[in-house]
A and B are shown apart, each in its own frame.
Chain A
Amino acid sequence: MGGTAMDGTAMDGKAIVVEGVSKCFRLTTDRPLSLKEAWTGLRSGSGGRLRRVRSEPFWALRDVSLEVPRGAMYGLVGRNGSGKSSLLRIMAGIYRPTEGRVQVRGRTSALLELGAGFHPALSGRENIYLNASMLGVPKSQIDERVEQIVEFAGLEAFIDSPVKIYSSGMYVRLGFAVAVHVDPEILIVDEVVAVGDEEFQLRCFGHLESLRAQGVTIVLVSHDLGMLRANCDQMAWLNRGLVSAVGEPQDVINAYLDTVDTEGAASVGHRPRPGADEAATPLRITDLEFFDEAGRRPKSFASGDPLIVRIHYLASRPVDDPVFSLGFYDHNNLHLAGPRSHVGGFRPGRVQGEGWVEFRLRRIPFRTGAFHVNAAVQDSEASFLYDRRAREFWLQISGEPDPRANGLLNLDGDWRSQPQPPPDQPAAPAGGVR
């Protein structure tokens, strides 16, 4: 691979060794796009160079070191913008590290974003060949696999149409199908698989499992902490370009959730909202807390547990019977539920000063993963919005869901069957088998 070096001794049992890697991007605010602009930039002396008028260094990664053992499934977590994608690109040889070095041993296949290396004007089939040849796979091998790839992606009807007409789901399916069918020794997957539908996701993870069983090293970025914990051998947590924790999945996840908690707590409460006028918003939501039945605040909940969501408010002047509402969303921003306080006829009365209201959920229906919970408060007619807090509070549902069920929710129901006739009276009049 380009930009990677091989070193026999240091690589024993390792597929990827990242040593002190830093990556600096130059954020150009004023990059000249034509010679004329470059020339005028040069003459006016702002920055002085022909290449760029002004650029700010941005360190996406700082002194990152980690080792991915051969055959391991390695998870990366971190918030958006923490440098995960840059690190994956460096591992895949697409970016060059500014400092440090990366050693990769083995043929690497990377699925970094939507439409991994597809040319929009070419058909799906042509793109399979193009993509495979970029990964260094001989044509003969792809000839054998092409039908398998098409079938895996479920694109039989569209494979000879240009990929520019594909939906985003079709893009991802085809990208994933190619990436896993080229016999990679190392597979790098950014969080793209989440785009496909549930059935395809299951198939993807099933395939990742079988690849791992064949000894393929897999590096995976995901926000689905439950999935990472269930599948990864090791994990690392990237925080603003630094490795904050590395090691056992459970430890890394706990460390990650700890900061998400404290950062969440720090952000809550007395922060003035931009443009929020005290007079115009007499009632504000100051915090949201998740409790279990015993009144504790666990880091994560298990599916089926009771949950109490407490909404803290601050009313700067008296408000009569405000309507509180909550919104539960999954990581794809799918709105799962939106309980509102006036639906069941609940009236909080006159609220003034600080206080809270609670929403009590008998059983958490969500299966696993991170869910964000919005809170809003309106006037008694539910026509005027006093305050709304979105995408700030995260509810972590962990534990291993029963893999035999699927979907986002566990429904609170039972299975029954039609009463069976007694076994000694055959249902068919023609006489049963004795």
Chain B
Amino acid sequence: MITGSGRGAMLEIWGYRELVGRLVQRELGARYKRSVLGWLWSMLNPAATLAIYALVFGVMLKFDPPRAGNGRFDNFALYLFCALVMWNAFYGVITGAMGALLDLGSLMGKVYFPPEAPAVAALCTVLFQAAIEGSILMLILICLANVSLTFLLWPVLLVFLAIFALGIGLVLSVWNVRYRDVGYLSTIALQFLFYVTPIVYPLSLIPERAMGLPVRDIIRLNPLSQFTEASRELLYGLDWPGLLRLGLMALISLGVGAAGWMIFKARTRDIAEEL
């Protein structure tokens, strides 16, 4: 039986791009249906989150942002937003992949389609949202004259992050079919991950050592930290993250993505019988 080397599997999902497009369209179309503000919510939601975090961590706790790349201002909310966009995409892909498989799984006993199609559609939906958030962020920064060629690398970073998240999301989604606990556990794990990633605080705020542990290095080793930090450097600091770090991120992203894809493909060969 041919069930797919990675290459064959990639080709198969390409053959079903019409389905992926349809699923994305449905997701976007169904979102904010029956709401007065409609699509505005897709901007109001992240704006509200941003405002809350900026209030709590920037105003109340007085976390100090570094100076922006053009050296003319510092702003905690914008500094936070650069990392938050990355986090939102990461979170969206993982929860989206898990939800999509359960949502569409019941159809898999009736009609054949590649089981990764729902997750890929979730990924595209999230990328669309992230692109909107990213554009708004860049627009604000441009208005503040904080702009540089580094902006051009940001979409590439976003894609790497999405592949990284997709690898994790695919594995979690297939486990979640068998054990619903995985869904509940990952909600908790994601909450934890949010606070061990420098998003609402700058990495410099973390002490080098605490309780005998090199805390800052531990947090830096979290791959997600690399993405949020790199996003800040590119957009806020107008700095190049360096080829070595970029290469490392690409490697991690492609490695996790490919591993997740392969595990998913192997575990979903008989998924139609399980759902």
Contact = CB atoms under 8 A, between A and B. Distances in A.
Given A93-B112, A95-B273, A2 B19 contact: no
A96 B269 contact: yes
The size bracket of the interface on B is 20 to 34
Contacts of B182: 35
A1 B111 CA distance: 11
Nearest to A178: B111
Nearest to A23: B273
Nearest to B115: A2
A97 B30 CA distance: 37
B101 to A, nearest CB: 14
Contact of A94 (B3, B16, B18, B272): B272
Contact of B1 (A33, A96, A112, A119): A96
A398 interface: no
Nearest to A1: B112
Interface string A81-97: 00000000100111111
B179 A110 contact: no
B209 interface: no
Interface residues of A, number: 43
B110 A94 contact: yes
A36 B181 contact: yes
A133 B21 contact: yes
Interface string B75-117: 0000000000000000000000000000110011111111000
Given A116-B111, A126-B26, A5 B2 contact: yes
A47 interface: no
Question: DSSP majority for the B interface?
Answer: helix
B245 interface: no
A138 B30 CA distance: 22
A134 B272 contact: no
Nearest to B184: A34
Interface string B28-48: 001000000000000000000
A33 B179 contact: yes
A117 B111 contact: yes
Given A35-B181, A94-B108, A113-B110, A133 B19 contact: yes
A3 B110 contact: no
Interface in A204-250: none
A130 interface: yes
A180 interface: no
A96 B22 contact: no
Given A34-B181, A95-B273, A110 B21 contact: no
Interface in B46-76: none
B15 interface: yes
A3 B1 contact: yes
Contact of A117 (B15, B18, B110, B270): B110
B123 to A, nearest CB: 17
Contacts of B114: 2
B111 A94 contact: yes
A70 to B, nearest CB: 21
Contact of B180 (A34, A51, A92, A97): A34
A158 interface: no
B109 A33 contact: no
Contact of A25 (B22, B107, B273): B273
A115 interface: yes
A4 B109 CA distance: 16
Interface string A113-152: 1011111011000100111011111110000000000000
Given A94-B110, A101-B1, A115-B110, A134 B19 contact: yes
Nearest to A175: B110
Contacts of A130: 19, 22-23, 26
A38 interface: yes
Nearest to A120: B106
Contacts of B208: none
Contacts of A113: 110
B217 interface: no
B110 A136 contact: no
Interface of A: 1-5, 25, 32-36, 38, 51, 89, 92-97, 101, 108, 110, 112-113, 115-119, 121-122, 126, 129-131, 133-139
Shortest beta-carbon contacts, A-B, top 9: A117-B111, A133-B19, A93-B112, A133-B18, A117-B110, A133-B22, A134-B113, A35-B181, A117-B107
21 contacts: A3-B2, A3-B3, A3-B269, A4-B2, A32-B179, A35-B181, A38-B179, A94-B110, A94-B112, A94-B272, A95-B270, A96-B270, A97-B1, A108-B112, A110-B110, A116-B110, A117-B107, A119-B103, A131-B111, A133-B16, A134-B112
Given A25-B273, A94-B110, A130-B26, 15 more contacts: A1-B112, A5-B1, A34-B179, A35-B179, A35-B182, A94-B108, A95-B270, A96-B269, A112-B110, A119-B107, A122-B26, A130-B22, A130-B23, A136-B15, A138-B18
